[in-house]
Structure 1
Amino acid sequence: MFDDIRHYRDDEVPEVVKRVVNDSSLLSGIARNMFPSLPKFMHAALKPVIRYVIRKKFSKVATIRDCQEYVAQFMEGVIKNSTDGFTYEGFDKLDPKKGYLFISNHRDISLDPAFIDMCCHYNNLDTVKIAIGDNLLRMPVATDLMKLNKSFIVKRSLTSVKDKIKAFSELSAYIGAAIRENHNVWIAQREGRAKDGNDATEDAILKMFYMFGKKLGMSFPEYIKTLNIVPVSISYEFDPGDVMKARELYEKSQTGNYTKSEFEDIDSIVGGIKGYKGRVHVSAGEPLTGEYADASALSRAIDTFIYSHYKLFPSVLVAAGHDEKVSPEEKSKFMERINCAPEELRPYMMKMYGAPYFNHEKCVLAENGGDGAKAE
């Protein structure tokens, strides 16, 4: 069941691992990233050595859990080498025997669920099944690697309405079944990353969840409670993809559209992993148990949690023009990063970094009796 979207099973792992360690495109990519200054013919010469190293590292990987342990070790290195500290809260209040649907803001293609996985790992919770768009699966080896890491497929590239409805119905059933079987699931609050820094939940995603509940004859509020939805706010002090995002926004403003290069998403994944992130904070809420009448009411609750729990790092405060309590050193560090970017991209980067502050203020205003609103 769900064979066209599910991640791999344990019995499939050995054959997939064998395929991965022998994939020529993967070996070439690793050679290019590890030794960018070497000529191409040297990359080819290094492939047998890289294959040997990978085969040795994966020699004891026989199950999905083994793969997850390897990813956890890898993420420990990412945290150590590209952050100034990783903190988290709220996960200790969750029940390891239950399945939760984690819905977070979306800033980085691969790191958002990876950091949530680390929070689960540290708190003895089952790691998450990860929703990924089929736009990331252009290379067979990328598909294999992601499905080894408990990723399931969201069919975003379909064009006919009939096919989309069928795919969303299958996705809804898959997520619903996973939660009922006490598995954890992660999905971003929106399709695509929030490139302008405005984290806003798309109602369409929440309506998709309910498709399975409607088939079961349940009302929207009834079914949503069964999903154990946990809102999650992920905060990066520095976004390793800030320049790429700003360039896309700039080009759209100039020409009205933006066309991705063939492997731009893969480049974004690599850049996100390797790039400097400063401090990273992840905050998980309690499962949403309110009587949410419809998708709009539910999305407001998710947004409110994300906005109010976003960590207002100095980068956010400086960009928003509220740097009264920011040290001169922290301000200088952030502005140096901004000023290293092409001049035409800097205003977009400043808005990107400052947006969480203004969304946070909307929550404060709403709590004090003002009018709360979704991000503009």
Structure 2
Amino acid sequence: MSECVDKYADIRPYNDDEVADSVARLIADNAFVDVIAKYNLPRFLSYFPFITRPLVRQQLRKKWGNTQSVEQVQQEVASYLNKLITRTTSEVTFSGLDKLDPKQAYLFISNHRDIVLDPALVNWGLFKHNMPTVRIAIGDNLLQIPYITELMRLNKSFIVKRSAKAPKEMLKALSQLSAYIYDSLSEGHSIWIAQKEGRAKDGFDQTDPALLKMLQLQGRKQKKEFADYVRELKIVPVSISYQYEPCAIAKAKELYHKQHHGQYVKQQGEDIASIVEGFSTAKGHVHLAFGEPIESGCESPEELAKTIDQQIVDSFFLHPGNYIAGGCKQAVIDKKDAEAFNARLAKVPEELKPLVLAMYAKPFHRKAELSTSESD
């Protein structure tokens, strides 16, 4: 009898029986061990890897040596996230989670401001509300370093093959992805995916209909109408709002470069630097608004994109910086909040200030436009 073929082996997260081997590979990886040493040991020791590596490996074996399951990894990640939230935010708040069914699998589609923090904070909200954590969609552009691949797949991440370029290869990759998302939801595993490829570097949160066409590939295979299939997916829009935009200066630099030179080519390791910066810098108050499962307004990918955008824009939590950058005089802004925002702005290079201000202003203006169109 032939063994069952694992058709998602190259993109799916690790299963329980693969966790111990993955952890062993991480502990054996010099590049990973050196990164741990860099952020946890005195700087001068980094010049002596023959000292630091055995020390770090000993600690990692002590801490992770008995990790055997995905659930244990999730508990470890939750512990780390708790420390990170305490250290780098004033608070993280949630709305809408109480209206969701803890026994139902959902397809969470969110705006995208930070590479790893966005899905991590979605998971934190679910974890705090005693709901299962999500499987996370990540682009293969992030997986150029072996230890990053290990960490991501240990942490319930599945791979979106962005590097596929030939039409046949792209269709095959997208069909596999669509089927994987559908099968995960059918088996009771919630999914997180960003509303478009890449972060919204200009503050403009907009769903790409191409993403929704990818989701429909599996529905088309099943000969289901688009609207019926969408209702089956239980799509829940999520609006993530940071008081202080993660990697604001780096995003503005990229936009500035594109404006003046036509394109921007990322340096090797730039995404990893963005992940580290997103984790380590102060974010102030972060709010995640979980919307309602979409039942209507989903007759076509374009209509569904508008429906998702409407929920994301409508529930976006405006912080003092959004009001200040948007030029709103009516908002009551605490003096300390205004001073903190202006102090941050003062550190932005002069040529980048308009771009950073626009980043904060965009959600305010879009919210105002939405309320105007609703009242017409």
Distance 1:213 1:187 in 2: 18
Is 1:137 matched with 2:143? yes
How far does residue 322 in structure 1 lie from its aligned partner after superposition? 1.1
Is 1:106 matched with 2:112? yes
How far does residue 341 in structure 1 lie from its aligned partner after superposition? 1.6
Is 1:345 matched with 2:352? yes
Could you say which residue in structure 2 is the equivalent of 1:254? 260
Deviations 1:135-177 (CA, angstroms, capped at 9, x unpaired): 0000111101000000000000111111111100110000011
Distance 2:49 2:366 in 1: 47
Is 1:228 matched with 2:237? no
Could you say which residue in structure 1 is the equivalent of 2:374? 367
Distance 2:39 2:260 in 1: 32
Residues 35/252 of structure 1: CA separation in 2 closer, same or farther (3 Å cut):
farther
Could you say which residue in structure 2 is the equivalent of 1:219? 225
Could you say which residue in structure 1 is the equivalent of 2:57? 51
Amino acid at match of 2:371: V
Asked if the contact 2:45/2:52 (under 8 Å) is kept, the reply is no
Could you say which residue in structure 2 is the equivalent of 1:201? 207
Indicate the larger mover: 46-55 or 30-39.
30-39
How far does residue 331 in structure 1 lie from its aligned partner after superposition? 1.4
Distance 2:204 2:238 in 1: 15
Amino acid at match of 1:65: E
Asked if the contact 2:111/2:195 (under 8 Å) is kept, the reply is yes
Identical aligned residues as a percent: 42
Within 5 A, what are the aligned runs for 1:1-376? 1-35=7-41, 37-38=43-44, 40-324=46-330, 325-369=332-376
Distance 1:356 1:295 in 2: 23
How far does residue 30 in structure 1 lie from its aligned partner after superposition? 2.1
How far does residue 253 in structure 1 lie from its aligned partner after superposition? 1.1
Distance 1:88 1:150 in 2: 22
How far does residue 33 in structure 1 lie from its aligned partner after superposition? 3.0
Residues 6/242 of structure 1: CA separation in 2 closer, same or farther (3 Å cut):
same
Deviations 1:342-374 (CA, angstroms, capped at 9, x unpaired): 1111111000111110111121112212xxxxx
Asked if the contact 2:142/2:272 (under 8 Å) is kept, the reply is yes
How far does residue 80 in structure 1 lie from its aligned partner after superposition? 0.2
Asked if the contact 2:297/2:307 (under 8 Å) is kept, the reply is no
Distance 1:50 1:138 in 2: 23
Asked if the contact 2:37/2:46 (under 8 Å) is kept, the reply is no
Alignment root-mean-square deviation, CA: 1.3
SS in 2 for 1:157: coil
Q: Which runs of 4+ in 1 moved over 4 A?
A: none
Amino acid at match of 2:356: M
TM-score in terms of structure 1 length: 0.96
Deviations 1:42-93 (CA, angstroms, capped at 9, x unpaired): 3552222112212212123110011011001111011100000010011122
Distance 2:361 2:63 in 1: 42
Distance 1:256 1:57 in 2: 48
Amino acid at match of 1:2: Y
Distance 1:323 1:51 in 2: 55
Amino acid at match of 1:5: I
Asked if the contact 1:237/1:280 (under 8 Å) is kept, the reply is yes
Distance 1:304 1:142 in 2: 34
Structure 2 stretches lacking a partner, 5+ long: 1-6
Structure 1 stretches lacking a partner, 5+ long: 370-376
